[in-house]
Amino acid sequence: MLKTSFAVFVFIFSVLAGYYSTPLFIDVFAKGQAVAKNFRGQDVPQGIGIMFAFYTLLWYAVFLPVTNLHSMHETSFEMLIVMTAFFVVGFTGFIDDMLGSRDTLGFSGHFGALLSGRLTTGALKALAGLLAAFTASYFLSYGASEIILNTLIIALFTNLLNLLDLRPGRAIKFYIIIMAFYAISAAVSGDLAIFFIFLPLIGSVIGYFPFDLKARCMMGDAGSNVLGVSAGILTALHFDLPEKIAVLLILIAIHIFAEKYSLSDIIARNRVLRFIDELGR
C-alpha pair distances (Å), 102 with each of 47, 78, 109, 263, 277:
15, 35, 11, 17, 24
Span 263-274, average pLDDT:
90
- Looking at the predicted structure, is the pLDDT value of residue 23 above 80? yes
pLDDT band of 75, cuts 50, 70, 90: low
Output the pLDDT for position 211.
Answer: 96
Dist CA 281 CA 270 (whole Å): 18
Dist CA 99 CA 101 (whole Å): 7
Span 137-150, average pLDDT:
92
Output the pLDDT for position 156.
Answer: 95
Output the pLDDT for position 70.
Answer: 46
DSSP string, the chain: -HHHHHHHHHHHHHHHHHHHHHHHHHHHHHHTT-EEE-TTS-EEEB-TTHHHHHHHHHHHHHHHHHHTGGGSHHHHHHHHHHHHHHHHHHHHHHHHHHH--SSS-HHHHHHHHHHTT---HHHHHHHHHHHHHHHHHHHH-SSHHHHHHHHHHHHHHHHHHHHHTTSTTHHHHHHHHHHHHHHHHHHHHT-HHHHHTTHHHHHHHHHHHHHHHTTS-B-HHHHHHHHHHHHHHHHHHHS-HHHHHHHHHHHHHHHHHHHHS-HHHHHHH-HHHHHHHHTT-
Output the pLDDT for position 281.
Answer: 77
Output the pLDDT for position 8.
Answer: 80
Range from 4-13, 88-97, 149-158, 270-279 carrying the lowest mean pLDDT: 4-13
- Looking at the predicted structure, is the pLDDT value of residue 177 above 90? yes
- Looking at the predicted structure, is the pLDDT value of residue 116 above 70? no
Domain that holds residue 74: 2-278
Dist CA 185 CA 239 (whole Å): 9
pLDDT band of 58, cuts 50, 70, 90: confident
Q: What is the largest CA-CA distance in the chain?
A: 57
Span 105-129, average pLDDT:
70
Q: Between 232 and 72, where is the model more confident?
A: 232
Bridge partners (DSSP) of residue 37 are 43
- Looking at the predicted structure, is the pLDDT value of residue 5 above 80? no
Q: Kindly state the percentage of the chain with pLDDT values over 90.
A: 49
- Which residue type sits at 74? E
17 class by beta-carbon count within 10 Å (0-12 exposed, 13-18 middle, 19+ buried)? buried
Output the pLDDT for position 190.
Answer: 76
Q: Between 241-260 and 220-238, two packed helices, what is the crossing angle to 10 degrees?
A: 150
C-alpha pair distances (Å), 163 with each of 58, 149, 208:
28, 21, 19
Highest mean pLDDT among 2-6, 49-53, 63-67, 117-121: 49-53
- Looking at the predicted structure, is the pLDDT value of residue 261 above 70? yes
Q: What total of structural domains would you count in the chain?
A: 1
DSSP string, 192-254: HHHHHTTHHHHHHHHHHHHHHHTTS-B-HHHHHHHHHHHHHHHHHHHS-HHHHHHHHHHHHHH
Range from 64-73, 81-90, 240-249, 254-263 carrying the lowest mean pLDDT: 64-73
Q: Between 80 and 91, where is the model more confident?
A: 91
**Cα 183 to the chain's mean position, in Å?**
16
Work out the mean pLDDT of the chain and round it to a whole number. Answer: 86
Span 118-135, average pLDDT:
85
Is the pTM higher than 0.85? The answer reads: yes
Bridge partners (DSSP) of residue 36 are 44
Cα-Cα end-to-end distance for the chain: 38
